[in-house]
Amino acid sequence: MTDRYAVIGNPISHSKSPLIHAAFARQTGQDMRYDAILGPLDGFEACVRQFMREGGKGMNVTVPFKIQAFELADRLTERARHAQAVNTLKFEADGSILGDNTDGVGMVRDIRDRLGAPIAGRRVLLLGAGGAARGVLLPLLDEQPACLVIANRTPEKALELKALCEGRGEVGVARFDELGSQAFDLVINATSASLGGEGLSLPAGTYDAGALAYDMVYGDRPTPFMQRAAEQGAARVADGLGMLVGQAAESFHLWRGVRPETEPVIAMLRKR
């Protein structure tokens, strides 16, 4: 019997998840079906439980339901608890729901494994202190960077994130204009600036020789952040398409127990 999975969000027609998981299923020989579900803004839980009753095995969760998914889950992985948001639900045989957040580990695997940019022992700058930054913070610290600095326009939210990381590693906080001449090996844009067509102007010297500038946003051309980073001296730039596929691969592994290859799927999406 074909196992059923889905992504739920509102809006949802733009989602690439059905394409990605269909490619993963073909690649790994898994008998499964993956659909996109437009969740009602006032009926997320009812929609999830209906899918469960119909035999669904798991769901991905996207905007605006990640907080509701966090609250719905009976059990949470450590990374979901730290992110305070859930993007993957696994429906267990006993009827309980496991909530996970695969965004951070998807990004880390993309940077470390696919792009070949080590994080361990390197200086990392994380731009932004909202939900996107919170979702990737713990997986980044698990890589044991030499230091991690959270930069935000205002320090209050960045200080809140730092407090969550007590005992995890060296975490600094700064406003964008306070970075000075400190140089980094990896600069990650977790702000929404690129979505608004804006670049981020960082102080001269932010990018060390060989630095990677990584935008969590993706598109069919280099994002404004990537363009500005290249102008300011970043040796390499990358968008977040690999993160999108990487977090999907982590969800797939949680559900099916097999880890698909991401590179062929990224190449397929680029062609489209």
Q: Name the residues annotated as catalytic.
A: 66
Q: Which of 127, 137, 132 is nearest to 199 (CA)?
A: 127
Q: Strand, helix or coil at 185? A: strand
Residue 174 CB contacts under 8 Å (≥ 6 apart), including other chains: 149, 150, 151, 155, 158
Please, are residues 107 and 246 in contact by the beta-carbon 8 Å criterion? Answer: yes
CB-CB contact of 226 with 237 (8 Å): yes
Rounded Cα–Cα distance for residues 25 and 40 (Å):
28
Beta strands in the chain (DSSP E): 3-9, 32-38, 56-61, 75-76, 88-91, 97-100, 123-127, 147-152, 171-175, 184-189, 207-215, 236-238
Helix, coil or strand: residue 140: helix
3-state secondary structure of 152: strand
- Please state, in angstroms and rounded to a whole number, the distance separating the CA atoms of residues 88 and 60: 5
Nearest to 169 by CA among 190, 150, 196: 150
Write the burial class of residue 10 (CB in 10 Å: 0-12 exposed, 13-18 middle, 19+ buried): middle
Sign of dihedral through CA atoms 106, 120, 165, 177? negative
**Total residues belonging to the chain:** 272
